Structure 1
Amino acid sequence: MAGVPVAPPGLECLLQVGSVRVKQTRDSMFQNYCTYDILSGDGQLLYRAEEERACCGPSFNIHIRDLQGYEVLNLLSRSVFFYWETQMQVLSVAGGMRSGYIEKNWTSMRSSFTLLTQQREPVLKVRGPGWGAGFMSDAHFKIKLHKDNSPLGVITRVWKGMLSINDSFEIQFPLDLDVKLKALLVSCAVFIDFLYYERNRRQNN
């Protein structure tokens, strides 16, 4: 029927959600790879994600699987030996194609990201808080349309308190947003966690 939105295989459950939570689920600070639960805004488990680590492999390799264990997305950044961590590919595994790319933009005082389609066309941008923001409080990364800078939503890193070892993110976006862009925003939250928080934690251990 005309007008019914179509989702790539495995992403159908994102059609009817306007918010997503991404929660780290590591058992202890000594676990050297990341695991995540990806939930709807009302707490329903949608996906599980696990990092794959290899000494000479990609610097960032996350497999997102549905509740039956089938991989639906692969988040991949090239080897750190050859490439600065400025771009992540989002691969739609079941569909057999790239869903898009996420590029980190280098700025002096503020982190930002550009979300691109599989044709490398910029569609969204995510602008982080200024330097020092988010210390002992939530950190907000504003989502905007790339073409006209219109506000679209927000990715919030929820302050975890002094005792928790796991990060948590909340993502707000329009319910009718293209499901592939929803998947890119979920992927962007994981990328933010890796670049700014998880990497710092590993360097300090």
Structure 2
Amino acid sequence: MIIKQEPELMEIFCHCEGKNRYSIRDEHGREFMRATENTCCCYMRCCCCTNRRPFNFTVDDFDEHEIYLDRKVSCNSCFFPRCMNKVVVTAKNGETLGFEKQRWSMCKTYFNIKGGNSEKVLRISGPCCTTSCCCGNIKFTIKDMDGHQVGSISKEWGGIIQESFTDIDNFCITFPVDLDVKIKAVLVAATILIDYMFFENTKEPKP
């Protein structure tokens, strides 16, 4: 899957954090889902919590099928292990599809991908440094419970202008063909959380 963050005019011209929106596309670039942030408090987005803010996303497939991503306010610091990031993914009928939960670590970033019954399905490990070097991509590795790599979440280099002047980010997700569709939904949630944790509000506005 390809997840492309859509540009916000308010951010470009006013340097004010708007609601995030993402276009979710297949490997051929065809859009089949869209994720829209429902956070309504401008103060929370711009001044109070910024990228640590709680969020709720609606992900729809243009055919009245929806899933919801929910994160409470959290802390990215390793000094507060009880306040790690967690995203809950639910269906329109209220069924819990799965969870993404950050694991405590001093250096690298780790996440557990869990099913609806809290069973561990996959693990995600991030690099020690999430700053793009030499105009390259930044990769988070997806592994099964036996430690074998089965995919990745890659933050794609968007070019010098996009990377320097905006926080618009594009991601590519690879995973096994036969992966449960519910876990695919959790990987979408994982990608959005990774964007918030490491790439949201990381650029200083330029006058």
Q: Which residue of 2 aligns with 1:114?
A: 112
Q: Normalization by structure 1: what TM-score?
A: 0.79
**Which residue matches 2:48?**
none
Higher percent of residues as strand: 1
How far 1:154 sits from its partner (Å)? Answer: 0.7
Alpha-carbon contact 1:63-1:71 (below 8 Å) kept: no
SS at match of 1:43: coil
1:133 deviates by 5.3
Q: Which residue of 2 aligns with 1:25?
A: 6
Aligned to 2:149: 151
Report whether the alignment pairs 1:62 with 2:57. yes
CA distance, structure 1, for counterparts of residue 130 and residue 65 of structure 2: 37
Contact 2:84 2:103 in 1 (8 A): no
Query: Is the CA contact 1:77–1:85 (under 8 Å) kept in the aligned structure 2?
Result: no
Question: 1:54-93 residue pairs with structure 2 within 5 A?
Answer: 54-55=40-41, 59-68=54-63, 70=64, 72-79=66-73, 84=83, 86-93=85-92
Q: Which runs of 5+ in 1 are unaligned?
A: 1-19
- How many residue pairs get matched? 180
Cross-structure match for 1:169: 171
Instruction: With a CA cutoff of 8 Å and minimum separation of 6, indicate the structure with the bigger relative contact order.
Output: 1
* Structure 2, gaps ≥5 residues long: 45-52, 76-81
Q: 1:132 to 1:191 in 2, by over 3 A?
A: closer
3-state SS of the aligned residue for 1:42? coil
More helix by share: 2
Query: Which residue, out of 180, 183, 189, partners 2:182?
Result: 180
Over residues 147-194 of structure 1, what are the superposed CA-to-partner deviations in whole Å (9 max), with x where a residue is unaligned?
x11111111000112212310000011111111111111211111111
Distance 2:30 2:155 in 1: 19
In structure 1, how many angstroms separate the alpha carbons of the residues matched to 2:20 and 2:8? 10
Deviations 1:31-69 (A, max 9, x none): 51101100001111111111111348x71111111124x
SS of 1:186's partner is helix
Distance 1:132 1:102, change over 3 A: closer
CA positional deviation for 1:114: 0.6
Q: Shift of the alpha carbon at 1:122?
A: 1.1
CA contact (8 A) 1:125 1:143 kept: yes
What is the distance in 1 between the residues matched to 2:172 and 2:147?
21
Identity among equivalent positions (%) equals 27
* Counterpart secondary structure, 1:177: coil
- Shift in Å, 1:25: 0.4
Which residues of 2 match residues 119-158 of structure 1 at below 5 A? 119-131=117-129, 134-135=132-133, 136-146=135-145, 148-158=146-156
Compute the TM-score of the two structures, normalised by the length of structure 2. Answer: 0.78
